Amino acid sequence: MGPVKRVLLGSAAGVFAVAGAQAADLPVKAKPVEYVKVCSLYGAGFWYVPGTDTCIKIGAYTKLQTEYGTSNGPFMDGVANAGAGDTGGRHTRTDTAQFTWNQRGVISFDMRTQTEYGTLRSYIDIGEQTSAVDAWNSGAGGNAAAALFTDRAFIQFAGFTAGRMRSFFDMYFQGTYAFAGQRFGNDTSPNGITGIAYTWQFGGGLSASLSLEDNSGAANGRGRSTVNLSTPSISTTANTLDAKGVEFFDPVLNLRLDQAWGFVGVSAALHDASGGYYTTGATPVEGNGHPGDKFGWAVSPAFLWNSPFGMTGDAIAAQAVYSKGAQGYAVANNGSTAFFKSGLNAGIGFGAEGIFINQSNVELTTVWSFNAAYEHRWSPQWRTSLYGGMLGYQYDGAATAMICRQTGASATPGLNGISAISNCDANWSLSEVGSRTMWNPVPDLDVGFDVVWYHLNTAFAGTASLTGQGAKPNAIYTLSNQDSLGAVFRIQRNFLY
């Protein structure tokens, strides 16, 4: 090859190499922008996450609630909450807050994907809450710290539901028709419960579910409230729990029929109510032995009737619970109730799912509850509900004898605060009647007012020596039925929630 030809070929190769390099450096043509598309598979508010086949809905609500004459979220002053007494029931200058408030803001994420096994769904909500309950004169300066929480975080797939969910024991939530905190039942709608469940769909709206659910006292589980009355346990301020540790979940069975007119259903649960160890003094000791295991149970029927008697938009609903050794299914209060009136007058009640003393068996407590509501819609903007509920505690003869031993004339007041009871009848009950009116001036905005009356049918009706009640004097009190009136105002904005 001649010199000239080699130069020309080399120059051509160089030109093509440079041209190829420059072409590689040129920007690739961008793909068309993928705009968000509406997902119509699951209702309003869902949209496809770009680049995926998953639909998501983002919801939220925010509310401000104020209460007068109520507490515990709110509820009648003095009613037990999570094992501790509510000092608002004393009605003294040092521990009474007649006016309380609660503020919440919550955001939710609902994600769904179609699979060959059906819909894969995950749901979570995250909230912030600030509240003041009996805080104004408690030494906190009236300040209440904000707290983060989540009451739902679950996965649903191929019939399974797992995570923080609503209990499958619960079917009707009276909080749908009332602002007042619910103790006449223990529906987990407000806070959720941890568990796993499987649901069978039989067609025609008939379904059955079997779940395993949290029975501990943590994270809003059903709770363990067995007490050893050989320790200072009869008190108006707290229970001394002595329960066996959690070994397994509670099994829950639910059967229900859902139709356009509403639903009807029944549920049942088993619950471990076993005690801990016998005590030396007030301390459980392994070497002392323990009572035999005891298991409690609860059953519940419920129904909801939409547009009854041809009244479009109205609703009637009710649920009853009967339990033995499983009070966490029947009622939300856990511990001792004490409500004081002027002078040396009070009403009290003592709540536990089981009690025992050293060297005895656990005696299971019978606890029942009932609540119902009727709501009438006056117009698209106005609706009013009338609601009510009852709960009751019943102790058998052996349990009553244990309680009488702790509260009789020879009991030491300094240990438990209650002694010298003239009438040792520990059975007691509580009831409520209320009405809420809701105004929706525009869609998704709720403005409502709730008035509720409570009646405590006291235990130990007669006289008793009460000591260690804060600013209340140590004295002989008359124990009798007590009444309380509360009011709640709420304003809440909902968005796809």
- Per-residue model confidence (pLDDT) at position 92: 86
Q: Which homologous superfamily is 45-495 in?
A: Porin (2.40.160.10)
DSSP state, residue 10 = H
> Please, what is the average pLDDT of the chain?
87
CA distance 190 to 166: 9
Q: Using one digit for the tens of pLDDT, what is the confidence trace for 341-365?
A: 988 999 999 899 999 999 999 999 9
Confidence band of 458 (pLDDT split at 50, 70, 90) = very high
CA distance 327 to 386: 26
CB 253 within 8 A of CB 210: yes
CB 229 within 8 A of CB 357: yes
- Exposed, middle or buried, 82 (CB in 10 Å: 0-12/13-18/19+)? middle
Residue 136 confidence (pLDDT) above 50:
no
CA distance 377 to 312: 8
Percent of the chain scoring above 70 in pLDDT: 87
Q: Using one digit for the tens of pLDDT, what is the confidence trace for 311-331?
A: 999 999 999 999 999 999 999
Cis amide bond preceding 74, omega within 30: yes
Residue 232 confidence (pLDDT) above 80:
no
List the beta strands (DSSP E) in 363-440. 363-364, 366-377, 382-394, 418-419, 428-439
Q: Using one digit for the tens of pLDDT, what is the confidence trace for 110-131?
A: 999 999 999 999 999 999 998 7
- Per-residue model confidence (pLDDT) at position 20: 46
Residue 270, CB half-sphere, CA atoms under 13 Å: how many?
10
| Higher pLDDT, residue 417 or 173 | 173
- Per-residue model confidence (pLDDT) at position 220: 77
The one-letter code for the residue type at 261 is W
- Per-residue model confidence (pLDDT) at position 332: 85
- Exposed, middle or buried, 422 (CB in 10 Å: 0-12/13-18/19+)? middle
Query: Which residues are CB-neighbours of 18 under 8 A, at least 6 positions away?
Result: none
Residue 150, CB half-sphere, CA atoms under 13 Å: how many?
13
Confidence band of 102 (pLDDT split at 50, 70, 90) = confident
